[in-house]
A and B are shown apart, each in its own frame.
Chain A
């Protein structure tokens, strides 16, 4: 654990690249929050209400009040997606001038935001999205602009029964944040990855971690490891998915699927979209709007003239698994899934990734 922490360098960003460790007394945290709130808008997990079993429902929301930030939250229903991949976003607007037009492009970001309390899975989700949307031949500026303006304070978590981040290699975040907090009881163990984070910390009292802090840290980590219940066996998964392309199990899942798109909407890594152009009622302007889509929706692959490359539910559902657990793995050596368990939790039909993959592996759901 310690070794990987020292070895890894931050891929993105500026300033320091070596990881610096500090300990921070818990009583100092509100102060740190206050300092940050003075320096920018903070997005934090907040309790939005209670569900029918009186369990809290968490959301990411802007808040300036430390007491509102529910730092020991479980998982938010929705990821912080709207801040980096808004559900609806104008890619361009047009001014119509007679027979001519002007295209106006805006990346829709005007200020940085501080994300206070992202779990490792959500940080890893961003890292994986980076591979498609930030790096590569065609970076997506709408994402890049928002991503570059995210200041991230990560926080450790306890696995919930539906979490399988460990199987997806997303249980720890190695980079992609500015500061990461691990609960040591009375203190937080702080990993610092950026000079901005470092500067924030200089406004509060921290100390150099000692040997016993390291020991406490490692104990916290192994405690977490023992807690995982859900697993996905990824051994040879890309090949197995290929071999089982015609498997009957897909049909069974397809029969249950509502083709509602919820799984993609709650997923922190789903980025597919559709574009629609519309003209204003007064015909004086037009807009080109991007809307996050879902490959489970009927017309995802339908083309003009009505031909649909994936008319059946099970074929579309299968495609979602192929993209995430085969295609992306082949391209980037890790799945486009961080095992946060949100899709399974939100799917009314109870379709969960561990069960689907187990069934494809012939392990009977």
Chain B
């Protein structure tokens, strides 16, 4: 008769197939390489990151709006929205602003640097539900980064959408991101409206708050536009409030308005609780929320 307590080993071996409920996925990091760095502004760069293992690269898929955890050993790990089209597998672009440990260090690494990525995590924009509808994308500052994915989707599937409008505002012209892409977007019949809070000598566009630009766009739309429109809003918390209120007043359905929330995160998998809003995990139930949900979240905006 045996009377000992047996050891239970939970590691499931070296299976290549990783399910989310396989506990060994928890700290599983795809080893990846920074294949290119494109400096957008003094503070923001676009990093192209490719998973090294070709098989893993094929398996890595994501939806617009999702994020990955990017890690540099000993430096830190943090969440970043994927900023590239979902049609590319295992090869993501992240637009990153230098603000802290990891992001500052990233601004110093070069092409070829080895990083780790986990994910993708979180909810996404329901792009396929948006077919046949108008899309209105409102971005403030760095908020354009996550929107670049749905923009690419619209570009790739332009015929499936009605009006496509982007309203994008920053503090000043030097902070505008992805300026080199604006012509291409316009060429794909996407209406891009830029506005800056403070102009400069080289700026001849409009100056003001993003709500001003949005107001102008909305004023030009027929009443039938609003019910048939999906809106995605991304940017600093103060912006949400005003923009969402405006859209709400024009009766854009609450379930068709999406925001992407940003909170502190340490795991991305609903464990560390740092991202909770009220008691909802931003990493699991978000970062993409519809406006109805956000309204019902205590302390969301």
A196 surroundings in chain B (CB, below 8 A) = 5-6
Q: A295 CA to B20 CA in the complex, in Å? A: 27
B163-194, CB < 8 A from A: none
A145 at the binding interface (Cβ < 8 Å): yes
A288 surroundings in chain B (CB, below 8 A) = 27, 71, 73, 77
B58 at the binding interface (Cβ < 8 Å): no
One of A162-170, A198-206, A255-263, A344-352 at the interface = A198-206
Residue of B23, B24, B25, B279 ringed by the most chain A CB atoms within 10 A: B279
B39 at the binding interface (Cβ < 8 Å): no
Are A323 and B73 closer than 8 Å at their CB atoms?
no
What distance in Å separates the Cβ of B27 from its nearest Cβ neighbour in chain A? 5
What distance in Å separates the Cβ of B252 from its nearest Cβ neighbour in chain A? 26
Are A199 and B26 closer than 8 Å at their CB atoms?
no
B116 surroundings in chain A (CB, below 8 A) = 103
B211-270, CB < 8 A from A: 237, 262-264, 266-267, 269-270
Partner of B1, one of A137, A199, A330: A199
Are B270 and A136 closer than 8 Å at their CB atoms?
yes
Q: A286 CA to B261 CA in the complex, in Å? A: 31
B295 surroundings in chain A (CB, below 8 A) = none
What distance in Å separates the Cβ of A106 from its nearest Cβ neighbour in chain B? 10
Are A295 and B75 closer than 8 Å at their CB atoms?
no
Given A203-B3, A275-B266, A301-B264, decide whether A137 and B20 contact each other with a Cβ distance below 8 A. Answer: yes
Contact string against B for A residues 253-288, beta-carbon threshold 8 Å, 1 for contact and 0 otherwise: 000000000000000000111110111000000111
B130-174, CB < 8 A from A: none
Are B74 and A327 closer than 8 Å at their CB atoms?
no
A232 surroundings in chain B (CB, below 8 A) = none
Given A103-B73, A279-B74, decide whether A141 and B273 contact each other with a Cβ distance below 8 A. Answer: no
B200 at the binding interface (Cβ < 8 Å): no
B3 surroundings in chain A (CB, below 8 A) = 35-36, 38-39, 199-200, 202-203
Q: A301 CA to B76 CA in the complex, in Å? A: 17
A353 at the binding interface (Cβ < 8 Å): no
Are A96 and B74 closer than 8 Å at their CB atoms?
yes
Given A138-B271, A301-B263, decide whether A39 and B5 contact each other with a Cβ distance below 8 A. Answer: yes
B252-301, CB < 8 A from A: 262-264, 266-267, 269-274, 276, 278-280, 284, 298-299
Given A132-B271, A140-B23, A274-B274, decide whether A327 and B279 contact each other with a Cβ distance below 8 A. Answer: yes
Are A140 and B26 closer than 8 Å at their CB atoms?
yes
Residue of B5, B7, B74, B298 ringed by the most chain A CB atoms within 10 A: B5
Q: Tell me the nearest residue of chain A to B109, going by C-beta.
A: A99
Given A278-B74, A288-B77, A322-B279, decide whether A300 and B274 contact each other with a Cβ distance below 8 A. Answer: yes
What distance in Å separates the Cβ of B287 from its nearest Cβ neighbour in chain A? 13
One of A50-58, A209-217, A303-311, A355-363 at the interface = A303-311
B103 at the binding interface (Cβ < 8 Å): yes
Partner of A107, one of B11, B76, B78: B11
Given A144-B10, A277-B72: 4 more A-B contacts, CB < 8 Å? A136-B21, A145-B10, A301-B274, A304-B78
Report which B residues bind A (CB closer than 8 A): 1-11, 20-21, 23-27, 29, 71-78, 99-100, 103, 112-114, 116, 237, 262-264, 266-267, 269-274, 276, 278-280, 284, 298-299
Closest 8 CB pairs of A and B: A327-B279, A286-B74, A279-B74, A141-B23, A138-B269, A94-B73, A304-B100, A39-B4
16 contacts between A and B (CB under 8 A): A38-B3, A94-B74, A101-B73, A107-B11, A137-B270, A138-B270, A141-B26, A144-B10, A145-B8, A202-B1, A271-B271, A271-B273, A273-B271, A275-B77, A286-B74, A309-B264
